[in-house]
A and B are shown apart, each in its own frame.
Chain A
Amino acid sequence: MIQRLIQNQRFVLAALVLAIVALLRAAPAAAEPYLAVLEGYKCNVCHVNPTGAGLRNAFGLTYAKVLLPAETLDNTLDSWDGKLADRLRVGGDLRAAWTRVTAPNTPSQQAFSLEQFRVYADLVILPDRLGIYVDEQIAPNGSQNEEAYVRYGNTTDGFYVKGGQFYLPFGWRLQDQTAFVRQVTGINMTAPDKGVELGYEHAAWSAQFDVTNGVANATTGSGYQVTTQIVYTKPIWRVGIAGSSTQSSAGDRRMGGLFAGLKTGPIAWLAEGDIVHDDSLGRSLVAGLLEGDWRLLKGHNLKLTAEYSDPDRAVRNNQETRYSFVYEYTPLPFLQLRAGYRHYFGIPQNNQQHQQLILAELHGYF
Chain B
Amino acid sequence: MNSRQSRRSLPCRSAVALCVLLVAACAGNGEGLDANGQPLVPGGSAPSPLSADFESIQENIFTPICSVCHAGGSAPEGLRLDAANSYNLLVGVPSTEVPSLLRVQPGDPDNSYVIQKLEGHQAVGMQMPFGCPNTQPCLSASTIAFIRQWITNGAPPATATAAPAAVNDMLAVTSIVPDSMEPVSAPPPQVMVAFNHELDVSQLTTHSMHFEKLAAGTTSTVLAQVAARSTVSSANLRALMIWPARPLAAGHYRLVVDATSSNRFSDLAGQTVALGTPDERGQAVISTFDVEVRQ
Residues of A whose CB lies within 8 Å of any CB of B are 26-27, 97, 99, 101, 103, 106-107, 109, 111, 113, 115, 140-142, 144, 163, 176-178, 183, 185-187, 190-191, 195-196, 211, 213-224, 236-237, 246-253, 262, 264, 269, 271, 278-281, 288-290, 292, 306-308, 311-312, 315-321, 323, 342, 345-350, 352-353, 355, 357, 359
Contacts and interface: CB of A to CB of B under 8 A. Distances in A.
Contacts of B125: 141, 144
Given A186-B69, A213-B186, A221-B185, A355 B136 contact: yes
Most buried by A among B15, B89, B178, B185: B185
Contacts of A347: 27-30, 33, 35, 37
B76 A247 contact: no
B35 A216 contact: no
Given A107-B140, A247-B183, A218 B77 contact: yes
Interface in B85-144: 85, 89, 93, 96, 121-127, 130-131, 133-138, 140
B294 A113 contact: no
A220 B28 contact: no
Nearest to B14: A262
A215 B134 contact: no
Contacts of B80: 216, 250, 280
Contact of A278 (B72, B76, B185): B72
Interface stretch (B17-25, B157-165, B266-274): B17-25
4 closest pairs, A vs B, by CB?
A: A253-B73, A186-B74, A347-B30, A219-B78
Contacts of A186: 69, 74-76
B213 to A, nearest CB: 17
Contacts of B172: none
A54 to B, nearest CB: 18
B136 A321 contact: no
A292 B28 contact: no
18 contacts: A186-B69, A191-B74, A214-B73, A218-B76, A220-B188, A221-B186, A246-B73, A247-B182, A264-B12, A279-B72, A280-B73, A281-B71, A306-B25, A308-B22, A317-B30, A320-B27, A347-B28, A348-B29
Given A280-B72, A320-B28, A249 B175 contact: yes
A79 to B, nearest CB: 35
A356 B131 CA distance: 13
Nearest to B69: A183
Contact of B185 (A185, A215, A224): A224
A183 B68 CA distance: 8
B168 interface: no
B78 A318 contact: no
Contacts of A353: 27
A315 B74 contact: no
Interface string B192-220: 10000000000000000000000000000
Interface SS, B side: loop
Contact of B138 (A109, A163, A323): A109
Contact of B135 (A190, A217, A220, A342): A342
Contacts of B131: 177-178
Nearest to B23: A306
Interface string B38-67: 110000000000000000000000001100
B73 A317 contact: no
A315 B33 contact: yes
Contact of B133 (A101, A271, A306): A101
A216 B27 contact: no
B250 interface: no
A315 B35 CA distance: 13
B76 A222 contact: no
A355 B96 CA distance: 31
B200 to A, nearest CB: 26
B26 interface: yes
B38 A252 contact: no
B184 interface: yes
